[in-house]
Structure 1
Amino acid sequence: MEKEVTYQSTNTYDTLNTLTSNTKTVWLVFHGIGYLSRYFIRLFQSLDPTENYIIAPQAPSKYYKNNEYNRVGSSWLTKENTSIETDNVLRYIDAVVTEEDLPGNIRFIVLGYSQGVSIASRWIASRKVYCDDFIMISGGFPKELSKNDFSFLTKKTKVTHIVGENDPYFEKAVVAKEIIRVQEILPQITFKTHSGGHELDITTIENI
């Protein structure tokens, strides 16, 4: 018999730069499967440190990536107990944002890369998060989300989806169908590509 228990848990997250009165943009960035937040956040080091503050939550499930047991990766969700795990992750993100106590007069960007797209989009939809920009990179959009989940967003929220032209995880026919579906849900979305594969190319988002 499978049972459930509720308990308090602690998790880490990483930040880059310092939140000051000079900060213009706060980025909440969600890494993909296999990453740790402290490594993922380094991809944003080229952004102006005086104007940009980056917050990278850490996926809670850790695992060893090789047989030498010296490289650690992490995952946000699996097909096992997805609903419960999603609720746990979303409550963790709530706690991160509450802890950071972000000012209201800044540009707020939510970015998801690869598996992080599913977390970013579910968090925005379930918490009705008003962000200035929502950026999805090389990730699939959750199948359960619909246009009603994002009806609170206005056209002021800029939505961008970016995928590499040589991404081995995305077949062109599948991408074409996804574009149609996501456009119906988020009609203000813009689709972009870069010449690489399944990676976050910082140059594609620096001027968004």
Structure 2
Amino acid sequence: MKKSIRFDYEAHYSLSHEPTFQEKEIWLVLHGYGQLAEFFLRKFGRFYSTDRLLIAPEGTNYTYLEGFQGRVGANWMTRHERETAIENNHRFLDSLLDSVLSGYVTPPPIHVLGFSQGAATAARWASRWKEEIRTLVLWAGGFALDLSLENTRTKFQNTTVILALGDRDEMITAESIQKQEELIVQLKKEVIRVSYSGGHELDSDVLEKIINHQL
């Protein structure tokens, strides 16, 4: 007989700086499979600013990247107990944003960027979060295919959606691109598509344009 129990759980995240609660915008950035939040956030170092708070939550599942020792990476879920992991991610991100935003008299605009596996996690969470997302960036990934079309269509009505993909990304297949295109048609959502010369990685020039709202 298999059962479940819910209990308090400690999760981790990294910040660009200690919040002053005077920031003009917040970027929530979700790492990909096998990465850690602390190191993922460093990729955004050139965009640190007193006016911009960057928050990098860390997936709560951990594994050794090679064998049974050495480097450890985090992930947002595996196929085992997938639905439970999704709900845990939602509660984690809800609690994190509620905690941070409680310090602001007037909450600043929220922008979300998800990389690789973090893209689907970001899209799932943003589509059901109680507040509005100003920008949603899905980088080297895409919308989760199990999203509620009606709810997502309504939720992202006023959200700028950006899809960023390298032209040599070995992790993205033609089939996955086709499925994303079909889903976007069903969502009836205009998206901004950005392509760059590179693989499964963040491109600094494209990232600068996105962070500085130049697209």
Same fold? TM cut 0.5:
yes
The whole-number CA distance in structure 2 between the counterparts of 1:116 and 1:137 is 9
Do the aligned partners of residues 152 and 173 (structure 1) sit closer, same or farther apart at CA in structure 2, a change above 3 Å counting?
A: closer
Deviation at residue 48 of structure 1 after TM alignment: 4.3
Query: Given that residues 17 and 52 in structure 1 are in contact (C-alpha distance below 8 angstroms), is that contact kept between their aligned partners in structure 2?
Result: no
Deviation at residue 195 of structure 1 after TM alignment: 0.6
Equivalences for residues 6-155 of structure 1 within 5 A: 6-20=6-20, 23-67=23-67, 69-101=69-101, 103=104, 104-153=106-155, 155=157
Deviation at residue 190 of structure 1 after TM alignment: 1.3
Aligned residues: 208
Identity %: 27
Deviation at residue 151 of structure 1 after TM alignment: 3.3
AA at the equivalent of 1:61: N
AA at the equivalent of 2:194: K
The whole-number CA distance in structure 2 between the counterparts of 1:12 and 1:174 is 31
Normalising by structure 1, we get a TM-score of: 0.90
Query: Given that residues 127 and 156 in structure 2 are in contact (C-alpha distance below 8 angstroms), is that contact kept between their aligned partners in structure 1?
Result: no
AA at the equivalent of 2:17: N
3-state SS of 1:206 partner: helix
Query: Given that residues 127 and 155 in structure 2 are in contact (C-alpha distance below 8 angstroms), is that contact kept between their aligned partners in structure 1?
Result: no
The whole-number CA distance in structure 1 between the counterparts of 2:15 and 2:65 is 24
AA at the equivalent of 1:193: S
The whole-number CA distance in structure 1 between the counterparts of 2:86 and 2:149 is 20
3-state SS of 1:112 partner: strand
RMSD: 2.0
User: Where does structure 1 lack aligned partners over 5 or more consecutive residues?
Assistant: none
**Alignment pair present for 1:165 and 2:150:** no
The whole-number CA distance in structure 2 between the counterparts of 1:22 and 1:186 is 36
Which region of structure 1 is more displaced relative to structure 2, 165-174 or 101-110?
A: 101-110
Provide Cα deviations, 1:62-117, integer angstroms capped at 9, x if missing partner: 11112371211011011111111111111011111111126445231011000001
Which region of structure 1 is more displaced relative to structure 2, 27-36 or 186-195?
A: 186-195
AA at the equivalent of 2:167: E
3-state SS of 2:177 partner: helix
User: Where does structure 2 lack aligned partners over 5 or more consecutive residues?
Assistant: 211-215
Query: Given that residues 158 and 189 in structure 1 are in contact (C-alpha distance below 8 angstroms), is that contact kept between their aligned partners in structure 2?
Result: yes
AA at the equivalent of 1:59: G
Residue in structure 2 matched with residue 204 of structure 1 by the alignment: 206
3-state SS of 2:14 partner: strand
Do the aligned partners of residues 90 and 166 (structure 1) sit closer, same or farther apart at CA in structure 2, a change above 3 Å counting?
A: same
